[in-house]
Structure 1
Amino acid sequence: MNDLPKIFNEFNEARQKGFVDVKNLKDDGKKIVGTYCTYSPWELIMAAGAIPISLCSMSDEPIAEAEKHLPKNLCPLIKSSYGFGLTDKCPYFYFSDMIVGETTCDGKKKMYEYLGKIKPMHVMQLPQTNKGETAFNAWKHEMILFKERLESEFGVDITQEKLKEAINLRNRERKALIDFYELGKMCPPPITGTEMLQVLYGATFKTDKEAHIKTLTKFTQDIKEDYENGNKKVSESRKRILITGCPLGGATEKIIKLIEENDGVVVCYENCTGIKANQELVDESIDPIDALTKKYLNIPCSCMSPNDGRIRSLSTLVDEYKVDGVIDVILQACHTYSVESYSINKFMKEEKHTPYMSLETDYSQNDVGQLKTRIAAFIEML
């Protein structure tokens, strides 16, 4: 359909358009809560009458300033997050009334101490395992503490009813996103990996969730109709790639472009930018706090030990998306994903018989030549 490229551009520009939206929301008296990670329980923020928004953290622009306070050999996501807050170059950070973070890694945990001197900061102490009653109770306690902090900070009462409404809204958004992700199961896929990432990354900056669900649902339907009418833009000969590892977006889009320049197409994003955080819905039949605790604790991030959920998820996705190869994207100095790459490689080769490659990168463009050589060789081997 002729308006599809226009919609892709809308999602691609969502971050920039969101700057105006968030200013208007502030002018209307709305409270803004900035988040960094998929472990942030957006439902609690929404139930408090506030607007959750993803903060800028995927550019090398502010890293030089961040390195005046942080070590150079630190993960670029952490340095970028802090740099944007330090320099006030992220409008979302500027307009946030409060920031929430989770102790997913030591670097973030210590960086949050500095961010807390710039903005009101709430840090949720994430258990390092999602196994057993002890971990569940610890994370439930953090949910309650965050709920109480929001109520205190904004002078509101987060009722059971408000929380149930927020859970229902977020679940409907997740379902719309899942329907969109599953376009990648089609052979050939109806959209490119770059277009898919534009929508997934742009979705994190959509403040009106009802409007977002409506737009995304229609968008997915239009793509399917266009495909069924014979408009297939991706060649069947392209190798189907699954991306796993660290979050993607912003500067790391260089990897997706290189894949597509070398006869590949990304059909699935298993990482935080994609399926990982949305594949499980919040159980609407049990106590809301228990349901949120269970859902968010089950996110299979490499910060969890053991992280069996990632293996199970990848096993299913490789089959369902008919994957030819897996590329594990690891940001420099991200120790948990770096260590876990050995077990993922072993699993892919021995259990799934699927070619695997890990790529270490940062937010600069200095390694594009090297990445191009490695990606081209990998896809040619497929």
Structure 2
Amino acid sequence: MNKLPEIFESFGEARRNGFLKVKEFKDRDENVVGTFCTYTPKEIIYAAGAHPISLCSVSEETIPEAEKHLPKNLCPLIKASYGFALTDKCPYMYFADMVVGETTCDGKKKMYELLGELKDTHVMQLPQNQSADGLELWKNEMYRLIEKLEDKFATQVTSESLRGAIKSCNEDRKLLREFHELGRLKPSVIKGFDIFNVLNGANYTFDKVEMREKVRNTISEVRAKYEKGEFLPEGPRILVTGCPIGGVADKVINAIENTGAIVVALENCQGYKELHEDVDESIDPVEAIAKKYLNIPCSVMTPNDKRIELLKDMIDEYQVDGVIDMTLQACHTYSIESHNVKNILVGEKKTPYMMLETNYSKSDEGQIKTRVEAFVEIL
């Protein structure tokens, strides 16, 4: 009667199935570029005729090996990223011809020095503010990446190929944005963990025609459920913000929804943060790409007013009852920024707020469950 669970499961399998697809790319002598962060301008990689692939960084499996080279009190995402490269346990890293990283934080930029000993690693120097000067610096980094890709793959990145890649990636963003915005429906018909699985799975569905068809079908089926009145049981509507959530989605989102609350929006990197703005198709393509990516409201930016504005808008648009700020241990920028986020959301928006710090281990599941239950109870 209801195909939604089956569809969501298929997106959950996409990352595993993606390994085989990337092997097909390499069997056809196609180029693969490994990426870590939403600041990576994938349009430029596509324009160079290569495939941008998100690398493994969301499991504690390889962290013990990484800690032989990296400090224990470092962000788990950084340790996992390096650990998978060090142990050769990530097929995406194995098949990648090169890796692109950005200096989003001190931990990452120093880790890239070690990673460069294992794999050809190009580091983009990300400005720490969104000023005119910052944009000029970031635009120069676009040209440096273009030059690197042209040299690496003996190809040429043209304005035409950039415009084609921009149009294609904007189409993907519009579609995934439309899907995420299903969380605005009230009463709710879709859970936050399913929203995460579809967005994450779409990222690993490398056949874009297949990805778009699956997402459109999912949107249609969710809307059909809404029209039929097949709603979820009512509960507090939660927005999750903060660090990339991939390594703790199961632990955090499920803990929230097991209380009877519903996660209606994910502002995190693997959620709405990158999707909410397209690349301008009417101006110079390099400048347009630089503008779009520099505008991503990550906590590494100072000041980071765009994140506050985005959160305030999302609280209204998704009719949010409470905000949970998920911070990974030792992520200093998000930890410090949580102070201002709390003051503004609680003070100006009158929205209950909780900061939740965690890592990739299972050891704090009980503590998270207790804290989340207490937070939802006050709502």
Q: Would the TM-score normalized by the shorter structure come out above 0.5?
A: yes
Aligned match of 2:301: 304
State the SS of the aligned residue for 1:164: helix
The equivalent residue for 2:233 is 235
3-state DSSP of counterpart to 1:352: coil
Aligned residues with identical type, % of pairs: 56
- Number of matched residues? 379
1:349 corresponds to which of 321, 346, 350: 346
Deviates most, 15-24 or 248-257? 248-257
Gaps of 5+ in 2: none
Residue 377 (structure 1) aligned with residue 365 (structure 2): no
Structure 2 contact 8–194 (Cα < 8 Å) conserved: yes
CA distance in 2, matches of 1:288, 1:24: 30
The answer to whether residue 101 in structure 2 is matched with residue 104 in structure 1 is no
Amino acid at match of 1:296: Y
Matching of residues 1-382 of structure 1 within 5 Å: 2-131=2-131, 133-232=132-231, 234-236=232-234, 238-382=235-379
| Structure 1 residue 201: Cα displacement | 1.4
Alpha-carbon offset, residue 229 of structure 1: 1.9
Deviations 1:98-147 (A, max 9, x none): 1000000000000000111111100000001012x211110000000001
Cα deviation for residue 209 of structure 1 reads 2.0
Q: Cα deviations across residues 260-302 of structure 1 (Å, max 9, x unaligned)?
A: 1111110000110111011000000000000001000000000
DSSP-derived class of the 1:51 partner: strand
Deviations 1:74-106 (A, max 9, x none): 000000000001011110011000100000000
Letter in 2 for 1:321: Y
1:230 deviates by 2.7
Other structure's SS at 1:231 match? coil
SS at match of 2:263: strand
Range with bigger deviation, 197-206 or 260-269? 197-206
Task: Say if 2:193 and 2:249, in contact at 8 Å, map to a contact too.
Answer: no
Distance 1:83 1:359 in 2: 25
How far does residue 250 in structure 1 lie from its aligned partner after superposition?
3.6
CA contact (8 A) 1:169 1:209 kept: no
3-state SS of 1:280 partner: coil
What CA RMSD, in Å, does the superposition of the two structures yield over aligned residues?
A: 0.9
3-state SS of the aligned residue for 2:156?
coil
Q: Distance in 1 between matches of 2:92 and 2:72?
A: 25
- Cα distance in 2, alignment partners of residues 239 and 251 from structure 1: 21
CA displacement at 1:244 relative to structure 2 = 0.3
Q: Distance in 1 between matches of 2:23 and 2:6?
A: 24
**Which blocks of at least 5 consecutive residues in structure 1 are unaligned?**
none
Alpha-carbon distance in 2 for matches of 1:26, 1:254: 34
